[in-house]
Amino acid sequence: MSRHTRRRSPRKTRLTIAGAALLASAAAVGTMTIASADEPARRQVTSARAGADHAVFVQGDELAGNTIHAFRRGEDGTLSAAGSYATGGKGGDQVDAPTDSLASQGSLVYDNRSGRLLAVNAGSGTVTSFRVEGQRLTDRQVVGSGGDFPSSIAVSGTLAYVMNAGGAGSVQGFRITAGGLVPLGGSHRSLGLHNKKVPLFSSSPGQVAFTPDGRDLVVTTKSANTIEVFPVRHDGRPARRAVINDSAGGVPFAITFDRSGRMLVAEAEKSTVSTYRVRRDGTLKVVQEPLPNGQKTLCWLERAGDFFFGGNTGNSTVTGYRTDRRGKLALTNGDGVATPPSARSQGVIDLAVTQDQKFLYVQNATSGTVDGFRIGGNGSLSKVTTVTGLPPFAESGMEGITAV
């Protein structure tokens, strides 16, 4: 028996030719960040904050020294620069990454309970935490990630888990304290991958996330086409072996959850979203088969109430979705495009939604910009702001975004 517990028939499929072509199309087009872990924990922000305290943070992922770029968010959703902060670590760039250097969702996380911002330093194998005071970041702390090339963080209660994409891949647990992150002994679990220290973007895991109840830790693995579930014990440590589930769609990437706790997974191969119920034993029940959006290389997916927004890096578009009372997912626009692309919006990658669900912020890696949109009552998007001058994708590029 392998290191994992398999509850479904193994499928050792690597990226199909079609999947590789779609992923490669991102490079050809020159297109392809955020919060935290589980969707609810990542989106928890204090609703009583005055408008002057609202912020959007963007991770620069610079190779020479990673920085967090802070922006003041106005009541109308507009952004204005409010400084930048060195993380004390280095950014990273995965091998052959088309536009997204970290090839993940959840690389920058805000935890409302502790008031701390958590960021990965992929090039250093470290994680940085800051105390958030409006748009200011203070009390910096840097700790080892427990592996190579950390690229995603999940938060639930006092727990944070970091996903390391390099080498065999792993998840490592931490306690979130007033002073930052403290490693949780006995929480390190291997993902059994076969990557180099700096992984190939198409074979690195996509995201680590907690289920809304905090009972399970979930990891997507792109090239293996699996979704791995670690039941979490009462002491915060994962089960020794993951339950490996075959993905309903090819190249599973981003994870989010709807109001009822159903899990939605974005799949890059054919730009689809599948919906699952996570069972108590760690197995997954498909409740809606892969829904295509007609776009290219869907990788990122964020929730705003009953709406969801996906970033299609292959053709730099954003797709809108809605769920009905029974949880069935459908496109908000027949053509799968919620907002038309522009010359300053190339290389769509990660996204962030404000807690009041009024605004969506989208990273454009190739352009080095962030677009802000007002979310309409019908899920429509109206652009309210564009900020420029962020690190565009070259040797590396910005990735990771969260709205506070």
Mean pLDDT, consecutive 10-residue segments, the chain of 404 residues? 42 38 38 36 39 89 98 97 98 96 98 96 98 97 98 98 98 96 98 96 97 98 96 97 98 97 98 98 98 98 97 97 94 94 93 95 97 97 97 94 96
| Residue that is written with structure tokens 């109840």 in the block | 213
What is the structure's pLDDT at 40? 40
Separation CA 28–CA 363 (nearest Å): 19
> What tokens does 173 get?
């647990």
What is the structure's pLDDT at 52? 65
Three-class SS of 66-126: CEEEEEEECCCCCEEEEEEEECCCCCCCCECCCCCCCCCCCCEEEECCCCEEEEEECCCCE
CA distances for 24 relative to 96, 97, 226, 396, angstroms: 9, 9, 21, 17
End-to-end CA distance of the chain: 45
Secondary structure letter of residue 165 according to DSSP: -
Dihedral in degrees, nearest 10, Cα atoms 53, 112, 46, 402: 60
CA distances for 145 relative to 94, 188, 240, angstroms: 17, 10, 19
| Fold type of domain 5-403 | Methylamine Dehydrogenase; Chain H (2.130.10)
Domain boundaries, the chain: 5-403
What is the structure's pLDDT at 395? 85
Separation CA 166–CA 197 (nearest Å): 5
Secondary structure letter of residue 53 according to DSSP: G
Contact 162, 205 (CB under 8 A): no
